[in-house]
Amino acid sequence: MNLILRWLAACLPAVILVCAPAAHALTQQQALSVAQGETDDRIAALGRLAAAPDARTAALLQAMADERLKLDAGHRVLITTEAGFVDAATGAAVTLAPDTQSSLEDVMLNNRLRGELDGALAALRLSSADKAERLAAAKALLDSGGDDARVALLDAAIAKEQDRAVLDALKLARAAALAASPDAARRLDAARQLGESHSPETRLLLNQRLADEQDPAVKRALQRSLRAVEDTLAWGERLGALFTGISLGSILLLVALGLAITYGLMGVINMAHGELMMIGAYATYLVQVAFRQWLPGWFDAYLLVAIPAAFLASALVGAALERTVIRWLYGRPLETLLATWGLSLVLMQAVRSLFGAQNVAVESPSWMGGSIALLPGLALPANRLAIIVFALAVLGGMSLLIARTRLGLFVRAVTQNRPIAACMGVPTARVDTYAFALGSGLAGLAGCALSQVGNVGPDLGQSYIVDAFMVVVLGGVGQLAGTVLAALGLGLANKALEGVVGAVLAKIAVLLFIIVFIQKRPQGLFAVKGRAQES
């Protein structure tokens, strides 16, 4: 008898999806039948109401789920609202005296009735015109547990559903419902269907069914499906770790490209490089604030302005540092290191004085939100993909500038032999300023990119400066190709080791590897070729 009543409670809503009967007026007796009485009788009444719902029925069921139903002395069902009380049958406002309100009875719910009520509400939402609401309803049916009485309801919803995401959720909910059937053949069919749905939810459901299953054939089918799902998810996790490593490598590449010029080409140990990144991040923040205040309709395009603004802000600060401090310290690495370290402290304190010590919020444009799902369990964040593309674009522009432009020719000439370049008419002092400003501007671009994936605060640069130096040293001083390989290699190695030994030990292991590598090959991955090597 209980099984029949449960079947009625879940199957009758399917009629509204297939036959779409005309709406009817909810009566007080119908409202009363679901509010009081034996649990089986209330479930049966719930199924009858859900079979032909109207606005008042939906409001009644939702209020019942929210525990906002009351019974008065005249056996009326009332819904409590912020404004007072509403008659559940008519929707009319009801005014009650204070002593009457205190005598109202709560409509009680037990776990069984609550589960049936959740299923009925989800069934009503399956016919919604809103895709998001239908998807939420399908997931609610899945989360509420398996019940083969819902198969007819889900079949009706599947037959008319057009959206792929909602359809997949409905099919998974249907398989979960079949998996709870007392019929072993239906459970076996469900086990095979679940093996075709490779998602973390499916793995959880299969594990739950395995714990309860007694039939050997069904258990074997569930185990096969679980292995297939776990294999697919494992590949998703591996590819996800690979993407995370490439993403970290692209960030390290952006950070290290500026150092590849200031340290790799110019020989300046710039400990303020991280603070130049910070300036680029704060420039991005200011552009975002300006767009939000004066051009809110164009907010999604603010990065088109923030990128050049971050480059120019950091480049101008870098040029000022080079002209006032660093130009007097060329060829004196220890003094340069100490001076730029002091400059980094000055820049951090200046930012704290202007913006405060707390992090500031930088919001990404809407087109950088969300993710792209490639496999079950593998979703690539759009902002990380954008940073990888941005890093490749900056690298390409940097390579063209160094190899194909007059400034790049001058930089290479001064790097290789400053006295001869000066004798050939190259303005070495001006080239130094331009090159340092270029490296500083690239640091600003790195700060702009980092603002889209992390916090922006006065200490932003301190988290990346050591890694950036390791990338440049490992790749080979003055070698862009080495910088690229070192950045990607360190990013992948960090993420691969994190999954085995943890983040802290992974950092230590990478540092030890670099120390040993530099001991064996001081010139890095790519050595600078000179005449002695070429002869």
For the stretch 301-310, pLDDT in tens is: 999 999 999 9
- Which one has a higher pLDDT value, 234 or 272? 272
For the stretch 90-116, pLDDT in tens is: 878 887 777 777 778 878 888 777 777
> Residue 115, Cα to own-chain centre: how many angstroms?
32
CATH tag, 236-529 = 1.10.3470
Task: Return the domain boundaries, the chain.
Answer: 2-212, 236-529
Q: Is the pLDDT of residue 14 over 60?
A: no
pLDDT of the residue at 535: 38
pLDDT of the residue at 492: 87
CB of 248 within 8 A of CB of 506?
no
pLDDT of the residue at 342: 93
User: What is the pLDDT averaged over residues 169-194?
Assistant: 80
Q: Is the pLDDT of residue 69 over 70?
A: yes
Percent share of the chain, pLDDT over 70: 89
Q: Cα–Cα distance between 232 and 374 in angstroms, integer?
A: 12
Q: Tell me 456's DSSP state.
A: B
Among 144-153, 385-394, 509-518, the range scoring the smallest mean pLDDT is 144-153
pLDDT of the residue at 480: 75
Report residue 145's pLDDT band, with 50, 70 and 90 as the boundaries.
low
pLDDT of the residue at 274: 92
pLDDT of the residue at 361: 87
Is beta strand 69-71 parallel, antiparallel or unpaired with respect to 84-87? unpaired
Q: Is the pLDDT of residue 365 over 80?
A: yes
User: What is the pLDDT averaged over residues 459-472?
Assistant: 86
Q: How far apart are the first and last CA of the chain?
A: 97
pLDDT of the residue at 529: 55
For CA atoms 325, 326, 328, 329, give the dihedral sign.
positive
pLDDT of the residue at 447: 93
Q: Is the pLDDT of residue 534 over 50?
A: no
Report residue 203's pLDDT band, with 50, 70 and 90 as the boundaries.
confident
Element (DSSP H or E) covering residue 378: strand 378-381
Question: What is the dihedral angle through the alpha carbons of 316, 322, 324, 330, rounded to the nearest 10 degrees?
Answer: 180
State both tokens at 226: 């679980």
User: What is the pLDDT averaged over residues 452-458?
Assistant: 89
